[in-house]
Amino acid sequence: MEKLKKSRIGARGWLARKADTLMDIVKVEGVIVEEINLRVEEFDKRLKALDEIQEQIQELITEEVDLLKEIEQASTVRN
């Protein structure tokens, strides 16, 4: 479980970096649509990786209360 939580921290960091890059590129005047699409694909890849790690963590949680806490905490990334 601890290894997965560390992986999740890394995945969140990468997702934040890709989000920042995407926001920066969108602000550039005259940016090529293909460049935006590439950045969106990179962001989606990182989001999918984070979702997969989160699912693995949730599968290991046996107590309903703990699972609800975990889901609530994970949802802050998506909001």
The residue behind tokens 């889901």 is 71
Residue 77 has pLDDT above 80, yes or no: no
What are 2-61's pLDDT values in tens digits? 899 999 999 999 999 999 999 999 898 898 999 999 999 999 999 999 999 999 999 888
Entry pTM: 0.80
> Looking at the chain, which runs of residues are DSSP E strands?
none
Whole-number pLDDT of residue 11: 96
Whole-number pLDDT of residue 79: 64
Whole-number pLDDT of residue 66: 85
Q: Are 23 and 17 in contact (CB under 8 A)?
A: no
Q: Could you tell me how many helices (H) and strands (E) the chain has, helices first?
A: 3, 0
Q: Are 58 and 66 in contact (CB under 8 A)?
A: no
